[in-house]
Structure 1
């Protein structure tokens, strides 16, 4: 399977899950700039979140050799992978659970509700292709009925709330989603 997702595949996923093609394009645009693999590193797009790592690795303060992960902010993919690898060396499962992955940035801690036995299995699935990354997100959206309904009706405030949490307004997720949706082109079978 090709790493890159094409428009026909995205359209097929949208139809299979009952969503508007342009709505999915909007989320992908806002979450990852429409790429699941970094141009800088060639690796899976990630966002390591130290606050989540502290929840999953409750004794994190005891370690004095892995401090890089604690300073991580939203950064370029090279920085994200450096922070992630530092946390991974301390606790691999906690690091993977604390990181969002792929085109639609699904948190690793959702692995069980998506049908995976381990978080590593979810990561391995996401590494295969952007198609798999979008499918992960669509399966996750279906686990939250309010998010599912909001995406079907294109209620961007509710989509932003359920997708990004209560702080979505601080980052204008709802406005960015609405804008991306209005700019997204319709699916044409020849593109």
Structure 2
């Protein structure tokens, strides 16, 4: 079964020592609680052209009018089109340059999470949303500042370590705080 149940999320939160509502807020903000497309069944991705440009092995090659260069946050059809175009040029760099799954973890974190290759990380994530959350929790545990920020619910630090220095531009800290507050209010109501 690919879908993550609420009970599974509660068990993972407990097993890894995190507040359930904190993890649920991350999932709400990162993927609207979906690890797979309702339309295609494929894993949810966000291909990042700026990372691909840095990570590809033949970056000095003329890119011409490559589809991957024009990608911005789009629907899954556009994301997969850009990803597949990049994958044809450099498979490993394309996988490293893409955030995947329910919690949108970048492929380049594969070794921090404990995988021998980015492809093995992708294969594991493609199996289920449960696996996608495991990957994220392992990554969070590998980043002490993020782990501490989640434990204390410091949304600005969570957003910074999870989404990078441009988090304010996209309001990630506010979105996380609001999602968390909504969940707490729901549980108390």
- TM-score by length of structure 1 reads 0.94
Q: CA RMSD in A?
A: 1.5
How far apart are the structure 2 equivalents of 1:86 and 1:60?
Answer: 15
Inter-CA distance 142–65: structure 2 relative to 1 (3 Å threshold): same
| Contact 2:71/2:82 (<8 A) preserved | yes
> Does residue 59 of the first structure (1) align with residue 58 of the second (2)?
yes
SS in 2 for 1:38: coil
The equivalent residue for 1:38 is: 37
Deviation of 1:33 (Å): 0.3
Per-residue CA distance 1:104-144 (angstroms, 9 max, x = gap)? 00000011111111100000000000000001000000011
2:10 paired residue number: 11
Q: Indicate yes or no: 2:182 matched with 1:174.
A: no
- Residue aligning to 2:46: 47
**Structure 1 Cα separation of the partners of residues 52 and 118 of structure 2:** 14
Instruction: Kindly state the Cα deviation for residue 158 of structure 1 after the two structures are TM-superposed.
Output: 0.6
Q: Distance in 2 between matches of 1:17 and 1:95?
A: 30
Asked if the contact 2:21–2:180 (Cα under 8 Å) also holds between the matched residues in 1, the reply is: yes
Q: Displacement of 1:63 after TM fit? A: 4.6
* Residue 125 (structure 2) pairs with residue 91 (structure 1): no
Distance in 1, Cα, partners of 2:80 & 2:55: 19
2:150 corresponds to which residue?
151
Matched position secondary structure for 1:95 = helix
Correspondence 1:121-136 to 2 at 5 A? 121-136=120-135
Query: CA shift at 1:186, angstroms?
Result: 4.0
4+ residue runs of structure 1 moved beyond 4 angstroms?
63-66
Could you tell me whether the CA contact under 8 Å between 1:40 and 1:77 is conserved in 2? no
Moved more, 51-60 or 91-100: 51-60
Q: Between Structure 1 and Structure 2, how many residues are aligned?
A: 186
Q: Is the 8 A contact 1:66 1:90 kept in 2?
A: no
- Unpaired runs of at least 5, structure 1: none
Q: What TM-score do the two structures reach when normalised by structure 2?
A: 0.94
Q: Which runs of 5+ in 2 are unaligned?
A: none
Corresponding residue of 1:139: 138
Compare 56-65 and 14-23 and name the one that shifted more.
Answer: 56-65
